[in-house]
Copies of this chain bind each other. A is one copy, B any other.
Amino acid sequence: MPNPTAAMLVIGDEILSGRTRDANMFFLAGELCKVGIDLKEVRVVSDDAPAIVAAVQALSAAYDEVFTSGGIGPTHDDITADCIARAFDRPIDVREDARKLLTDHWEARGVEITQARLRMARIPEGAKLIDNPVSIAPGFTVENVHVMAGVPMVFEAMVASVLPHLTGGSPLLSQSLRINRGEGEIAGPLSDLARDFPALSIGSYPFQRDGVFGANIVIRGADGAEVDAAMARLAELFPA
C-alpha cells in the first residue's frame, strides 16, 4: 500500500518578504519522513484571504493530510482561522471549550482577557482542537487540514500533538554516499542504477566546495534490503 501523502501551507508575509527564513517546513518534512507520510508539496502564501482559501481547498482535495503554519494569533493580520472556515463553508465563532482553556490559563496568571485575545478562541464549527502545551491557544483540525501556529516552538509542539493521531506508512529509509566527482561523470552509471531499482528513489545532489565538484547520492526506499543492495552496487561503481 502506498504511503499517505501530505502537503504543507505556510502562511505569512514575513517569509515572502525575505525577513524570516522558514524553519517549520524543514522541521515538518523531517517528522513526516519518520512516520512514513510523504510530503509532496509545500506552498507559501501571504496574509491574503483569497490566496489562503484557494490554497487550502486545492491542497485539501489533492492530498491525504494538509498542515498549515501561521496566522492564528490575536492580531489583525491573523486571518487563518476565518479563511479555513470559508474554505470549508463552515460558521466560525468563539468556542466555549477553547475560550475556557484560554481564560483559565490567563486568570491563573493575572492576564487581562481582551477581545483581541479571545480571537484565538475562534474555531470553525466541528473542528477538533490541537493541544498547545507551550502557550495554550489551541490549533485545530478541520477535515484533513491541521491548522497550527507559526512560532517554531509552538508549531513543533502542535505537530507532536497531531502526529500520533494520524495513520502513517512505511518510514522511508535512506542511505547516502558522497562522491567527489562531477555529476557529468557519474550520471550515466547512476541512471542505469535507477533503472535496475525502480522501487527506489535515487537522487543526486551536486555540491561545489573549495573548487571541488561532487555529489551526494541519496538512495531512499521502504525496503531496507533493497536499499542496502543498491548502495553496495553504488559503492562498487565509485570506489572511494
Listed in ascending order, the chain A residues whose CB lies under 8 Å from chain B are: 13-22, 25-33, 39-47, 51, 73-78, 111-112, 114-117, 119-120, 134-135, 151, 153-154, 172, 174, 182-188, 190-191, 194, 201-208, 213, 215, 218, 220
Closest residue of B by beta carbon distance from A15: B29
> Which residues on the B side are within 8 Å of A116 (C-beta)?
183-185, 187-188, 191
Residues of B within 8 A of A206 (CB): 73, 151
Nearest B residue to A77 by beta-carbon distance?
B203
Complex Cα–Cα for A93 and B228 (A):
36
- Which of B39, B135, B188, B205 interacts with A20 by CB under 8 Å? B205
In the bound assembly, the distance between CA atoms of A41 and B218 in angstroms comes to: 29
CB < 8 Å: which of B78, B187, B205 contacts A14?
A: B205
13 pairs of residues in contact across A and B, judged by CB atoms under 8 Å: A16-B29, A17-B29, A17-B220, A18-B39, A22-B26, A41-B43, A41-B45, A73-B183, A77-B194, A111-B182, A114-B188, A116-B188, A134-B208
Query: Which of the residues B44, B47, B174, B208 comes within 8 Å of A151, measured between beta carbons?
Result: B208
Return chain B residues, CB-CB under 8 Å to A14.
203, 205, 218
B43 touches A51 (CB 8 A): no
Q: How far is the CA of A77 from the CA of B74 in the complex (A)?
A: 44
Partner of A76, one of B45, B115, B135, B191: B191
A205, B182: Cα distance in complex, Å = 43
> When chains A and B are docked, how far (Å) is the Cα of A45 from the Cα of B201?
15
Instruction: Check A190 against B26 for contact (C-beta < 8 Å).
Output: no
**Whose C-beta in chain B lies nearest to the C-beta of A215?**
B75
Q: Which of B46, B114, B183 contacts A40 (CB 8 A)?
A: B46
Instruction: Known A43-B42, A43-B43; judge A18-B22 contact (CB<8 A).
Output: no
Contacts of A185 in B (CB 8 A): 112, 114, 116
